[in-house]
A and B are shown apart, each in its own frame.
Chain A
Amino acid sequence: MKTTLIQKAGAGIFGLSLAVLLISLFLGNYSLDEQQFRQVVTNEDHRALLEPELDELFSKKYSTTFPFAADYSDALNGVNDRLKSEEKWNAVIHKNYSLDLAKKAASGVVAENSLLFFLIAFVLGTLGALLFIFPRWWTKHPGIKNDGTFFRNQTNRGWQGVMVALLLIGFYIVLYQQPEHLTNWVLMLDPLSFAIKNTAADQWFLYGFLYTMAISIMAVRMALRYQHNRYQLIRTASVTFFQVSFAFLIPQILALLNQPAYDLKSIWPLEYTFFFEYRIDEYIQSGTIGIFMLGWGIALILIGVPLFTYIYGKRWYCSWVCGCGGLAETAGDPYRHLSDKSLKAWKIERWLVHGVLVFAVVMTAMALYTYFSGQSSILGLSSFEVRSWYGFLIGFIFAGAVGTGFYPLMGNRVWCRFGCPLAAYIGIIQRFKSRFRITTNGGQCISCGNCSTYCEMGIDVRWYAQRGQNVVRASCVGCGICAAVCPRGVLRLENKEEEGRINSDPILIGRDGARLSPDLSG
């Protein structure tokens, strides 16, 4: 690959935008007064409890979010500790005001020029990324473009890959644990948020925006890379469409209309809060639309998933619709070959992913029990405690920090493969009751290993192909890359009648005489 001038310019612009973005987090001043505090904290009890403790904070001017947040959390912890020692459990403040307070308190170059920063960091950054991507992948010779994959630092767990991983992991930790440090980024998105839904941005708007940008930009890369392959083009268009519309825009518009901001394509148990009482209450209170959403969500779980999975296989969701899948298939595509193909990894995968499914089911059952009975304790376990552990361990650590942060280390489907409870559920259906399979073309396999190498789910596709056996695996998301990279046209994704789908005793075509399926352990 020769780097062109345009590409260098693109990389430069993108790097500049990224630098601006990172530096912006440390710019500005933070000073909060009582007036602003009251605008944010509208709950009278919370106000009464917190305000006396914040005198010092009100009097100070902070140059970064860190001491500001530290002082605020000292005050908050002081209040909560006192309440706990007095056993006033119901009065304890759980609501996290820190990001909203920090936004109010912020002044300085970013707060005053949020639109300008938005343009530099995001619009210019996008332009830079596209300038980098276009000349790199636009080609007169469409075809498989895997040259240098294992030589490039970025895609072979070199320091560049590690840097990307650290950035992503750090972002997820801050986003979930201390979003107040993202104040300036959220401020930059305020204009956009107001334009779309007429309210200020919060960290989840920021997250949704970045997520959608990552998918959209990297979808361009994916489409250029696989311009010769219509399955890949249509699939990439599909995940991008579902992210932009269903996941990002429609919920914002619903919020604007005072309806539950529901992503209509999200399905329990991936969407693990679906049956939490505040969600159920929200649906019911929103009248017809809310009831429809509740019914739609349940219908997807009970009818949609089994039916579509029967007809098309797991792919209908995981590599065509899902947001996590969408990110993996676009932004994660450069890392797909880093998934572990060993038998051991497969064993770990089955225990983990089904374990998370059980955890999700138990947690949800407890939540529903609490909803209907009003009791939070079941067999000595607090339903709320279990939920918060699930949210922390699975929602934040597994799906976020590890699931995405580990792309450059363990491949782009870490979450989908090892953690997603919905993938586990769909996988069980795909394995036992589906028309989908990957068929192999007679005796044409040359055992080269491209299929296994580029399988993001870590399936050893070659093991099946070289013995002429259909690939019927719970984890297969049907991305179709194995078939694309196969140099001999041996693999094909198919929806066909169930008969003969699982051919565990295959015969390789090519010669006559007594035959034996080459079945050895392993």
Chain B
Amino acid sequence: MPGSNHIAIIGNGIAGTTAARHLRKLDSRARITLISAETEHFFSRTALMYVYMGHMRYKEIKPYEDWFWKKNRIDLVFDYVEFIDPGEKSLHLRAGGKMSFDKLLIATGSVTNTPPWQGTDLDKVQGLYSWQDLEELEHHTEPWGQKQIQTTHAVIIGGGLIGVELAEMLRTRHIDVTILVRESRYWGNVLPEEEARMVESEIEQHGVQVLTNCNVEALEGDEEGKVEAVLLDDGERIECDLVGITTGVKPNVEFLKGSGIEIEKGILVNEFLQTNIPDIYSAGDCAQVRNPVKGHLPIEPIWYTGRMMGEVAARNLAGKKEKYLPGPWFNSAKFFHIEYQNYGRVPTEENGEILFFTWQSWQQGKLLKVAFQKTDNKLLGINLFGIRMRHENFDRWLRQELSVQEVLSRLLEADFETEFEPRFYREIVDSFNEQFGESVKLRNRRGKFKLAFWR
């Protein structure tokens, strides 16, 4: 096609797919190729666990029907990119050979960050990130509802989000699970004490053993090469027949070494998500932002960052210069049955400048923690467990730098709880007033038409 503009995207995860969709919207003529070696079509990575648990099938975790791509003229290529030649503006596919591009987006996501222990190459040692990982896990365990023979006790190394997901998955097949946490508490580098304890308790109530302060020394295998134990540095030996490595992920950039594209931990990009090579961009887990905006990290391997970077990358690929400017941080997760929402930044503990206000109901499995600045009471972030609140409000309040008092008085505005569910806002405000000697009043929602009988 003379004069045609070919934009290739490597990786059909949330970043690559979002970029492709937005690009098509911005440029109806460009030729768009979306390449993946993982699956033919885009699926929701966060939903992998639900496939293993039987809540959904592969079909259900694909956010778009298969005809969508053709209809929007996004060419899908199911192949593995072996290397990129930036000078020639081409990439080399394992099966399909050479493909040239005018612009390229690298959105290859992450791979499991396996620590350098002895024995991680044993059979039945795996991470949980890709579709292939799920297939491997399925291969190592008996189908749902059947007696487990191959795997009866799994050890999960790493107390983070993927670890607890893996634990929940394995429990649905009645496999005994032990989670080894390096810190003194679950997700200790992110969650404050109360939150971590609450999650630990929830995990333990579902029959999972959580061991903290564990440093893994090595993995041991049997004569067939299958893992049979985890060795800790204190000499303890934990027998198991499956090991899940959930110590985190790292950018999937190995194949770029020597390509001339600048890499540190991830692919280095400027605020336009552009690499050191002008027509090559990167987005999502694999990208490392050189000068991230305040409140953000150079590498943020989460769904939301992937999606937002995908949007911005599309604009830049379409020639509309656009900086990647993420707003206030937000995240979410679910720990067995406890939902977690987070807006803004809540550090792991109070310090000289930052104070916490915590309200907790163990019985109800609910917790709210607000972090605020000691000097001016400015809201910094909120952790919510078992409480649903509105993103829009906290996004605005964090930008407006509202005080903790103002935020607490306006909690009802941000209510996102299901109808009829009990609300605890009054107790929360009372508890704040008691703890801090304040007299904050919970404000009613601004005069709304209140015909609904549950209001």
Tell me if A146 and B54 are in contact (CB < 8 A).
yes
Residues of A within 8 A of B145 (CB): 1, 148, 151-152
Of all chain A residues, the one with the shortest Cβ separation from B174 is A2
Tell me if A511 and B324 are in contact (CB < 8 A).
yes
- Alpha-carbon separation in the docked complex, A234 to B44 (Å): 33
Residues of A within 8 A of B131 (CB): none
| In the complex, chain A residues 428-467 whose Cβ is within 8 Å of any chain B Cβ | 435, 441-444, 446-450, 452-453, 462-463, 466
Residues of A within 8 A of B311 (CB): 511, 516, 518
Of all chain B residues, the one with the shortest Cβ separation from A235 is B420
A441-B388, A493-B419, A516-B22 are known contacts. Are A449 and B205 too (CB-CB below 8 A)?
no
| In the complex, chain A residues 469-489 whose Cβ is within 8 Å of any chain B Cβ | 480, 483-485, 487-489
Tell me if B388 and A450 are in contact (CB < 8 A).
no
Tell me if A147 and B418 are in contact (CB < 8 A).
no
Residues of A within 8 A of B419 (CB): 230-231, 480, 493
| In the complex, chain A residues 19-38 whose Cβ is within 8 Å of any chain B Cβ | none
Tell me if A487 and B421 are in contact (CB < 8 A).
no
Q: How far is the CB of B443 from chain A (nearest CB, A)?
A: 18
Contact residue among B205, B312, B452 (Cβ-Cβ distance under 8 Å from A513) = B312
Chain A CB within 8 A of B334 CB: yes
- Alpha-carbon separation in the docked complex, A248 to B39 (Å): 53
Chain B CB within 8 A of A140 CB: yes
Residues of B within 8 A of A229 (CB): 418, 421
Residues of B within 8 A of A497 (CB): 448-449
Tell me if A142 and B63 are in contact (CB < 8 A).
no
Number of B residues near A (Cβ < 8 Å) is 71
Chain B CB within 8 A of A347 CB: no
- Alpha-carbon separation in the docked complex, A144 to B315 (Å): 39
Residues of A within 8 A of B172 (CB): 147-148
Contact residue among A148, A447, A496 (Cβ-Cβ distance under 8 Å from B63) = A447
Residues of B within 8 A of A488 (CB): 332-334, 339, 341
Of all chain A residues, the one with the shortest Cβ separation from B449 is A497
Digitize B301-327: 1 where CB-to-A-CB distance is under 8 Å, 0 elsewhere.
Answer: 001100110011001000010111111
A312-B452, A516-B22 are known contacts. Are A149 and B392 too (CB-CB below 8 A)?
no
A511-B311, A514-B320, A520-B72 are known contacts. Are A443 and B304 too (CB-CB below 8 A)?
yes
Chain B CB within 8 A of A509 CB: yes
| In the complex, chain A residues 175-194 whose Cβ is within 8 Å of any chain B Cβ | none
Residues of A within 8 A of B67 (CB): 522
Residues of B within 8 A of A521 (CB): 68, 71-72
Chain B CB within 8 A of A86 CB: no
Q: How far is the CB of B22 from chain A (nearest CB, A)?
A: 6
Tell me if A495 and B452 are in contact (CB < 8 A).
yes
Tell me if B14 and A489 are in contact (CB < 8 A).
no
Tell me if B452 and A483 are in contact (CB < 8 A).
no
Q: How far is the CB of B335 from chain A (nearest CB, A)?
A: 10
| In the complex, chain A residues 493-522 whose Cβ is within 8 Å of any chain B Cβ | 493, 495-497, 508-514, 516, 518-522
Contact residue among B60, B206, B395 (Cβ-Cβ distance under 8 Å from A449) = B60
Of all chain B residues, the one with the shortest Cβ separation from A497 is B449
Chain B CB within 8 A of A343 CB: yes
Residues of A within 8 A of B330 (CB): 442-444, 510
Tell me if A510 and B143 are in contact (CB < 8 A).
no
Tell me if A450 and B55 are in contact (CB < 8 A).
yes
Q: How far is the CB of A232 from chain B (nearest CB, A)?
A: 9
Tell me if B339 and A522 are in contact (CB < 8 A).
no
- Alpha-carbon separation in the docked complex, A299 to B332 (Å): 47
Chain A CB within 8 A of B238 CB: no
Tell me if B326 and A448 are in contact (CB < 8 A).
no
Most interface-central of A147, A466, A485, A512 (chain B CB within 10 A): A147
- Alpha-carbon separation in the docked complex, A466 to B303 (Å): 12
Residues of A within 8 A of B18 (CB): 518
- Alpha-carbon separation in the docked complex, A234 to B418 (Å): 13
- Alpha-carbon separation in the docked complex, A487 to B206 (Å): 17
Tell me if B60 and A453 are in contact (CB < 8 A).
yes
Residues of A within 8 A of B424 (CB): none
Of all chain B residues, the one with the shortest Cβ separation from A489 is B388
Tell me if A446 and B46 are in contact (CB < 8 A).
yes
Of all chain A residues, the one with the shortest Cβ separation from B168 is A147
Tell me if A441 and B325 are in contact (CB < 8 A).
no
A143-B337, A144-B337, A511-B326 are known contacts. Are A230 and B54 too (CB-CB below 8 A)?
no
Tell me if B326 and A510 are in contact (CB < 8 A).
yes
Chain B CB within 8 A of A342 CB: yes
- Alpha-carbon separation in the docked complex, A450 to B49 (Å): 12
Tell me if A516 and B72 are in contact (CB < 8 A).
no
Contact residue among B25, B336, B422 (Cβ-Cβ distance under 8 Å from A141) = B336
Tell me if A516 and B14 are in contact (CB < 8 A).
no
Chain B CB within 8 A of A265 CB: no
A446-B44, A520-B25 are known contacts. Are A141 and B452 too (CB-CB below 8 A)?
no
Instruction: Knowing that A146-B55, A492-B418 touch, tell me 4 more A-B residue pairs with CB under 8 angstroms.
Output: A442-B390, A449-B61, A496-B448, A518-B22
25 A-B contacts (beta carbon < 8 Å): A2-B174, A143-B337, A146-B50, A146-B53, A147-B53, A148-B145, A151-B145, A229-B418, A230-B418, A230-B421, A441-B388, A441-B392, A449-B62, A450-B50, A450-B56, A489-B388, A496-B449, A497-B449, A508-B308, A510-B395, A512-B325, A512-B326, A512-B327, A513-B312, A518-B21
Q: Pick the 9 closest A-B CB pairs, nearest first.
A: A442-B391, A143-B337, A489-B388, A448-B47, A230-B420, A148-B54, A487-B334, A512-B325, A151-B54
